[in-house]
């Protein structure tokens, strides 16, 4: 059998190409206890029992749950949940916002736990020596040059070590949390 190139359009063997899928991040899950805590904070400010709180009370309700949101953060959240501009936030929207905030808080705590594993001499910084020890413990065969490159990549203030803020930043940048 001989195949010949023709000017006729060849049928595709794969069929139509599906559109690229968006990366979906798993939706954070809350415990029943956390949901109850959020419900109680919401109800504290839903004084008329309407099922809505005033956007002005969002910050106070978040504080009641142990968060210290900045003004810009509050504005962004209100923009996300009060799309129709009513000035009111439903419990479902508040739960959605708080689920996200609690997931971020958990992630930050996990990263700081990892930071403390590196910072075994409790200086508040990860030194070259700290990094080398952890690499050895994990069985990573990295050269001193590679380890120094890692420090240099994360070290924003140029002091030769990595502080908590720099560690959090590099972990966010590399999508490791």
- The domain that contains 129 carries what CATH number? 1.10.238.10
Is 129 within 8 Å of 151 (Cβ atoms)? Answer: no
50 and 94 together in one domain:
yes
Residue-level pLDDT at 3:
45
Same domain, yes or no: 49 and 93: yes
- Reported as a single tens digit per residue, the pLDDT across 82-134 is 888 888 999 999 999 898 888 888 788 888 999 999 999 999 999 999 999 99
Helix (H) or strand (E) holding 54: strand 52-54
**Same domain? 129 vs 99:** no
- Looking at residue 159, its pLDDT comes to 97
| 45-74 mean pLDDT | 87
Judge whether 60 lies within some domain: yes
Q: Give CA–CA dist 154/132, Å, rounded.
A: 15
pLDDT at 66: 84
pLDDT of residue 164: 95
Radius of gyration (C-alpha) of the chain in whole angstroms: 25
Residue whose C-alpha is closest to residue 135's, from 113, 123, 151, 156: 151
20 in a structural domain: no
Residues 141 and 98 in one domain: no
pLDDT band (50, 70, 90) for residue 8: very low
Residues in the chain: 177
Residue ending a domain, among 72, 103, 134, is 103
Alpha helices (H) in 119-163, listed in sequence order? 128-137, 144-154
Specify whether 90 is located in the same domain as 143: no
Q: Is residue 12 part of a domain?
A: no
Domain boundaries, position 86: 30-103
């Amino acid at each position: 059998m001989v195949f010949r190139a023709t000017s006729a359009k060849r049928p595709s063997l794969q069929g139509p190409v599906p559109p690229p899928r968006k990366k979906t991040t798993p939706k954070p899950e809350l415990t029943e206890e956390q949901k109850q805590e959020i419900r109680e904070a919401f109800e504290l400010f839903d004084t008329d029992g309407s099922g809505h709180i005033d956007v002005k009370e969002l910050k106070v309700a978040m504080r009641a749950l142990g968060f210290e949101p900045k003004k810009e953060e509050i504005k962004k959240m209100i923009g996300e949940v009060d799309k129709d501009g009513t000035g009111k936030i439903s419990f479902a929207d508040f739960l959605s916002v708080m689920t996200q905030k609690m997931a971020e808080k958990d992630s930050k705590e996990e990263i700081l736990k990892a930071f403390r594993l590196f910072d075994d001499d409790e200086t508040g910084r990860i030194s070259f020596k700290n990094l080398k020890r952890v690499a050895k413990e994990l069985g990573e065969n990295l050269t001193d040059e590679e380890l120094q490159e890692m420090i240099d990549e994360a070290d924003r203030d140029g002091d030769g070590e990595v502080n908590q803020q720099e560690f959090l930043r590099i972990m966010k940048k590399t999508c490791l949390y």
